[in-house]
């Protein structure tokens, strides 16, 4: 078949599914909507793999763009709906469609009790379409369209259970925080357009080198123009990828159904920021200061999120902070110039993080929508497949592997690669060393919280007996300082014929297990299968110029020749983290609870997420409210309304009353006014004429 047609089918089938399920879901019924969306998604997924194969090893070796329709054409501002095909978009395409297809399938089981299935599947497909638009964009405008489209879908899905007030609040929070990022993103696009008079990547990228070093004078400073553009664009990436300062929405986004968390808030949408930075590598290569900011923010995010993740008790929140932390890794890798490593980790991370989320979903499903790990324990006997899958995911994320033989699960390769390049970059960019130190430390923390999650959930004593389960949901620890993710609605579970007290955790249906198994394979194999192509010696042939590397940028090659201890450090940290977790949660079970109960200052600080929500509440929310109050009461009501409409109408009323008072009813007053009028007019007339 014609490749153009294939690409169009690839891109439009999720949209078609979304339209069918969204517009006529009620008419065609739940089953049909689910079947249509899932089927179309699998079709799209197959075509994505085909594209990837063709681009990498097949006949589509040249990068190309298929233009579909004009979008906005105003002067230099030319934008078209198009499909850009290169290795970058192909890699991202398989990530998006594979995870999305599996999540669709998984949702058959997970959402089986939900009354709004067509809406859910329509949203999922809509999200996938928007994400593919973003990924295959050939200019900034379509990129922005996709960017906002996934934001919309994310908003809709976080607030899917809109009857829960917390879900609505979380959806709004995600939307608002992303607006901040999007503002920066829009500024970045404008900066680029102002500088280059084009927003098409194809025409833009060759122009960049010539503008390197251009500065703008503004308010007594000289700004490097490209750094400024890069910085603004990165603000957009920070919002979408939940980086430090703009991360607050991601943990709250766990209010959405778990499949959504797996698809949007782990594997795809949140990585859009990383993808954009890699896509714009031709720009960032000439913007060293902007890259410095990226390294710094990335490293700090990874540290911050890991410290917070250690203390959380909600199974999904732990994974959410883990995602945030891993995204930080990707950013500092991109920041040091190893976009390939960032993309590699994005790729492997999508598999194991989706696996972890779906595994967590399976646990939650088994526990009848219980998310608090303190009410779990000893589950491995009941849900063995989930247990195995989650363990595989943990091994992958903590980067365990066998050194010297150079064999391990997915994370082992990608994380090593990222830390390696960071260290290698340290020679020229001191922030590289900083990132490396932080990265190794965080690898330990990652290992600790990941295994803590596993041991807490699957091993030890069951803490979900009669006593713990009397009050279903989370009402019984409402006294905690922190608002945790609120239980998912479990309509329908009571119909199963068993009360809450005496049920046993049960393994999930096959629709949920199949995705777990497929993703487990990905988590195991995506590392060693692709390391050669993504970051190894085959990378140049693989990327085919989709990622631009500056003339002085050799971090990837240098990372191959590092001292041995550099390569061993992350693994050592990971094993240490594993041992600590095992000590606290396996061998001395109950120690963790005791430590938490003691609540040292560090614990409180981490447990409360570094008090970011509180800080933002005080500074931005209350500040904005106070400012709004001032503008409203002083500015609008008193000044504008007071002097404007209300003041003028008052004044007019006064005039009217004054004139009314003149209307005494006495003839002599009237005559007097008339004579005054005559005298006044004569005077006025004479004065006017004499002049």
Partner 1 sequence: MMPSNLLQIAAPELILAIGALALLVLGAFRGNRSTLLVSILAGLVLIGAAAAAAVAPLGPIFRGGFVSDEVSRFSKVAIYLMSSVALLLGERWLNRLRAGQFEYPVLILLAALGMGMMVSAGDLISLYIGVELQSLALYVLTAFRRDDGKASEAALKYFVLGALSSGILLYGASLIYGFAGSTRFVDIAHAVHTTAAPVVLIGLVFLACGLAFKVSAAPFHMWTPDVYEGAPTPVVAFIAAAPKLAAMVLFARALLEGFPDAIDQWRQVIMTIALISMAVGALAGLVQKNLKRLLAYSSILNIGYALMALSTGTQLGLQAMLVFMVLYMIDSTGAFATLAALSRDGKPMETVGDFAGLSQERPTLAIVLTVLSLSLLGLPPLSGFWGKFYVFKAALAAGQWQIAVFGLVASVPAAFYYLRIIKTMWFDAPAGRTDTPAPDAQAVAVAAGLWSLPLVLVGLAFLDPLAALAARAFGLS
- Alpha-carbon distances, residue 182 vs 150, 204, 244, 289, 300 (angstroms): 12, 21, 15, 21, 21
For the bound state, the minimum distance from the C-beta of residue 641 to partner 1, rounded and expressed in Å, comes to 16
User: Candidates 294-302, 359-367, 401-409, 681-689 — which segment interacts with partner 1 by CB under 8 A?
Assistant: 681-689
Q: What is the dihedral of CA 514, 517, 523, 526, to 10 degrees?
A: -80
What is the distance between the alpha carbons of residues 46 and 101, in angstroms, rounded to a whole number?
10
| Closest by Cα among 268, 208, 216, 48 to 200 | 208
624/651 with CB nearer partner 1: 651
User: Candidates 20-28, 43-51, 410-418, 647-655 — which segment interacts with partner 1 by CB under 8 A?
Assistant: 647-655
215/654 with CB nearer partner 1: 654
What is the distance between the alpha carbons of residues 265 and 320, in angstroms, rounded to a whole number?
8
What is the distance between the alpha carbons of residues 44 and 96, in angstroms, rounded to a whole number?
10
Q: Tell me: does residue 602 bind partner 1 (CB under 8 A).
A: no
| Closest by Cα among 84, 235, 95 to 522 | 95
For the bound state, the minimum distance from the C-beta of residue 26 to partner 1, rounded and expressed in Å, comes to 40
Which of 57, 611, 632, 670 is in the footprint of partner 1 by CB under 8 A? 670
For the bound state, the minimum distance from the C-beta of residue 649 to partner 1, rounded and expressed in Å, comes to 8
601/658 with CB nearer partner 1: 658
For the bound state, the minimum distance from the C-beta of residue 685 to partner 1, rounded and expressed in Å, comes to 5
Q: Tell me: does residue 682 bind partner 1 (CB under 8 A).
A: yes
Which of 207, 402, 624, 681 is in the footprint of partner 1 by CB under 8 A? 681
Q: Tell me: does residue 634 bind partner 1 (CB under 8 A).
A: no
Q: Tell me: does residue 686 bind partner 1 (CB under 8 A).
A: yes
427/673 with CB nearer partner 1: 673
427/678 with CB nearer partner 1: 678
What is the distance between the alpha carbons of residues 471 and 487, in angstroms, rounded to a whole number?
12
Q: Are 37 and 104 spatial neighbours (Cβ–Cβ below 8 Å)?
A: yes
What is the distance between the alpha carbons of residues 203 and 247, in angstroms, rounded to a whole number?
33
What is the distance between the alpha carbons of residues 297 and 638, in angstroms, rounded to a whole number?
44
For the bound state, the minimum distance from the C-beta of residue 684 to partner 1, rounded and expressed in Å, comes to 6
What is the distance between the alpha carbons of residues 21 and 120, in angstroms, rounded to a whole number?
9
For the bound state, the minimum distance from the C-beta of residue 680 to partner 1, rounded and expressed in Å, comes to 8
| Closest by Cα among 229, 129, 130 to 186 | 229
Q: What b/e readout covers 503-512, taking b as 16+ CB neighbours within 10 angstroms?
A: bebebbeebb
Q: Are 402 and 265 spatial neighbours (Cβ–Cβ below 8 Å)?
A: no
Q: Tell me: does residue 643 bind partner 1 (CB under 8 A).
A: no
- Alpha-carbon distances, residue 241 vs 202, 273, 274 (angstroms): 25, 5, 7
For the bound state, the minimum distance from the C-beta of residue 645 to partner 1, rounded and expressed in Å, comes to 10
Q: Are 233 and 279 spatial neighbours (Cβ–Cβ below 8 Å)?
A: no
Q: Tell me: does residue 621 bind partner 1 (CB under 8 A).
A: no
For the bound state, the minimum distance from the C-beta of residue 676 to partner 1, rounded and expressed in Å, comes to 7
For the bound state, the minimum distance from the C-beta of residue 635 to partner 1, rounded and expressed in Å, comes to 23
β-pairing, 401-402 with 215-218? unpaired
587/670 with CB nearer partner 1: 670
599/653 with CB nearer partner 1: 653
> Under rule CB under 8 A, how many of the chain's residues touch partner 1?
28
Q: How many residues does the chain have?
A: 691
| Closest by Cα among 232, 335, 341, 218 to 288 | 335
630/652 with CB nearer partner 1: 652
536/647 with CB nearer partner 1: 647
Q: Tell me: does residue 624 bind partner 1 (CB under 8 A).
A: no
User: Candidates 93-101, 398-406, 596-604, 683-691 — which segment interacts with partner 1 by CB under 8 A?
Assistant: 683-691
621/681 with CB nearer partner 1: 681
Note the residues at the interface with partner 1 (CB under 8 A).
Answer: 649, 652-653, 655-657, 659-660, 662-663, 665, 667, 669-671, 673-674, 676-678, 680-682, 684-686, 688-689
């Amino acid at each position: 078949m014609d490749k153009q047609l294939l690409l169009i089918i690839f891109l439009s089938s999720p949209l078609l599914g979304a339209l069918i399920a969204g517009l006529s879901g009620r008419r065609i019924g739940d089953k049909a909507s689910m079947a249509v969306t899932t089927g179309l998604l699998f079709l799209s997924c197959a075509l994505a793999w085909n594209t990837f194969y063709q681009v990498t090893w097949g006949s589509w070796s040249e990068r190309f763009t298929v233009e579909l329709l004009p979008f906005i054409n105003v002067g230099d501002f030319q934008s078209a709906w198009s499909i850009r095909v290169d290795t970058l978009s192909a890699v991202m395409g398989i990530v998006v469609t594979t995870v999305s297809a599996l999540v669709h399938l998984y949702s058959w089981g997970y959402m089986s009790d939900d009354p709004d299935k067509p809406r859910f599947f329509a949203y999922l497909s809509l999200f996938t379409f928007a994400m593919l638009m973003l990924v295959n964009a050939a200019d900034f405008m379509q990129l922005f369209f996709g960017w906002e489209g996934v934001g919309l879908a994310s908003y809709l899905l976080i607030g899917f259970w809109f009857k829960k007030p917390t879900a609505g609040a979380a959806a709004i929070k995600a939307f608002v925080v992303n607006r901040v990022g999007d503002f920066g993103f829009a500024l970045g696009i404008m900066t680029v357009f102002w500088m280059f008079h084009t927003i098409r990547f194809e025409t833009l990228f060759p122009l960049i080198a010539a503008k390197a070093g251009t500065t703008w004078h503004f308010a007594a400073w000289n700004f490097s123009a490209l750094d400024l553009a890069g910085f603004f664009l990165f603000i957009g990436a920070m919002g979408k990828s939940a980086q430090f300062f703009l991360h607050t929405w991601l943990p709250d986004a766990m209010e959405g159904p778990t499949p959504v968390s797996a698809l949007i808030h782990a594997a795809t949408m949140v990585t859009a920021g990383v993808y954009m930075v890699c896509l714009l590598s031709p720009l960032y290569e000439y913007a060293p200061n902007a890259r410095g900011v990226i390294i710094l923010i990335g490293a700090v995010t990874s540290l911050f999120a890991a410290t917070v993740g250690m203390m959380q008790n909600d199974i999904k929140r732990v994974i959410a902070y883990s995602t945030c932390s891993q995204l930080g890794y990707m950013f500092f890798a991109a920041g040091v110039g190893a976009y390939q490593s960032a993309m590699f980790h994005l790729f492997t991370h999508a598999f194991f993080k989706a696996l972890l989320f779906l595994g967590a979903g399976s646990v939650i499903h088994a526990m009848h929508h219980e998310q608090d790990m303190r009410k779990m324990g000893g589950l491995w006997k009941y849900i063995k497949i989930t247990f195995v899958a989650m363990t595989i995911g943990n091994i992958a994320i903590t980067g365990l592997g066998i050194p010297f033989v150079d064999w391990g699960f997915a994370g082992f390769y990608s994380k090593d690669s990222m830390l390696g390049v960071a260290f290698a970059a340290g020679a020229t960019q001191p922030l590289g060393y900083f990132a490396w130190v932080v990265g190794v430390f965080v690898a330990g923390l990652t290992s600790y919280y990941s295994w803590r999650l596993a041991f807490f959930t699957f091993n030890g004593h069951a803490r979900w007996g009669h006593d713990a389960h009397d009050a279903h949901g989370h009402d019984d620890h409402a006294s905690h300082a922190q608002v945790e993710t609120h239980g998912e609605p479990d309509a329908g579970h009571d119909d199963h014929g068993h009360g809450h007290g005496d049920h046993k955790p049960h393994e999930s249906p096959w629709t949920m297990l199949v995705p777990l198994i497929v993703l487990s394979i990905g988590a195991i194999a995506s590392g060693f299968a692709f390391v050669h192509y993504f970051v190894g010696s085959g990378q140049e042939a693989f990327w085919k110029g989709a990622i631009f590397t500056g003339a002085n940028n050799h971090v990837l090659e240098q990372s191959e020749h590092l001292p041995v201890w550099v390569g061993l450090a992350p693994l050592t940290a990971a094993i240490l983290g594993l041992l600590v977790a095992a000590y606290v949660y396996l061998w001395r079970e109950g120690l963790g609870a005791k430590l938490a109960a003691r609540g040292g200052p560090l614990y409180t600080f981490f447990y409360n997420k570094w008090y970011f929500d509180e800080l933002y509440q005080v500074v931005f929310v209350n500040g904005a409210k106070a400012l709004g109050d001032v503008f409203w009461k002083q500015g609008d009501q008193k000044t504008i309304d007071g002097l404007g409409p209300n003041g003028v109408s008052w004044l007019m009323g006064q005039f009217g009353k004054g004139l009314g008072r003149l209307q005494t009813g006495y003839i002599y007053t009237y005559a007097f006014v008339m004579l005054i009028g005559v005298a006044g007019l004569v005077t006025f007339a004479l004065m006017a004429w004499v002049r």
